[in-house]
Amino acid sequence: MALQGNLRNFSTTQLLNLINLSGRTGTLTIFEGVPTGDKDAMGEEKMAPGAERASISFRTGKLVFAALSGQINDLIAVLNKAGKLTDAQAGIIRERAKGTADKALAMRLIGANYVTQNDIVNSIQQYTLDIVYNLMSWRDGPFVFEDNKLPEGDRILVPTDLEKVIIEWSRVTKEVEELNKHLPNLDMALKFPDNPKEKYAGVHLSVEEWRVVSFVNPKNTIRQIAKANNMSDIEIRRVVYGLEQAGLVIMVKPEGMEAKKSAAPLPNSRRNKKAQQPVQRDVVSKLIDKLKSI
């Protein structure tokens, strides 16, 4: 019988502890909650599993895979996000390697000297951890753990000790709580301050910050910006918090629309935008021109 429940009664951290101690193999899936109209033993409304939000897979008690629904998670996206492939390289490889499984693609990339084996292992591991830390901040949602279920296809599974994950989470949990408190609603939008030219003069932003800045518009919600840049909730909150504290953006209600839980893709969004190599000069120039024209 599958282990199932709701995160409001059994947290992600408790689930990871249980899986670690029991050395279980399988996949934990977290869903959107759908009200049933019934009450549970605590007097709270029972929630039935709706759309899938995320999944985490384990082998003999070790973390091996994680994915957020709606987020691109193939090897090309992972390496692009880790800065091992530029946007241009990722686009070309995606076009030429259509239908190629991750393991076969990894061998081709290593053979062509795009990346090393360590690059692939470290990038996948960090990508997985980023998702898991994001899930560990969730406080509600039905879940199901299915024994012996692992990702289908030719996925590259990189094992990580859950003890290390739990210990690291205890270190960063205070930061995450502060970010959630400061920015509880990702359906807000961003706009530039009244004097953007002055604010951005001489400012050095990270690649992630430039990515977010390029989508700043009162019509775009923060959730949409995160999706366009393949960023988790924690990642987008961290970037927006830094930009806001520096006075580079202002949080506002979305222009001409009510904030919605579901977000459509942005019209100008492109996939896999997080290469950690320097942003090309023409991209920076366009952003500066955009700021000057405001």
Digit-by-digit pLDDT tens for the chain (294 residues) are 578 999 999 889 999 999 999 999 999 999 999 998 888 777 788 889 999 999 999 999 999 999 999 888 999 999 988 889 988 999 999 999 988 999 999 999 999 999 999 999 999 999 999 999 989 888 899 999 999 999 987 899 999 999 999 888 887 788 888 888 899 999 999 999 988 888 888 888 888 888 899 999 999 999 999 988 888 888 899 999 999 998 999 999 987 665 444 445 554 444 444 444 444 445 445 555 555 455
pLDDT of residue 42: 75
The closest alpha carbon to 242, from 218, 213, 276, 272, belongs to 213
Per-domain boundaries in the chain: 3-173, 189-293
What CA–CA distance (Å, rounded) separates 113 from 116? 7
Taking the whole predicted model, whether its pTM rises above 0.85 is answered as no
pLDDT of residue 99: 86
pLDDT of residue 261: 45
The closest alpha carbon to 261, from 48, 45, 73, 32, belongs to 32
Are 218 and 226 contacting, i.e. CB atoms less than 8 angstroms apart? no
Lookup: tokens for 125: 């591991």
SS3 83: coil
pLDDT of residue 5: 92
> Which residues have CB under 8 Å from 292's CB, separation 6+?
196, 197
Q: How many CA atoms lie within 13 A of 37 on its CB side?
A: 0
pLDDT of residue 270: 40
> Which residues have CB under 8 Å from 111's CB, separation 6+?
none
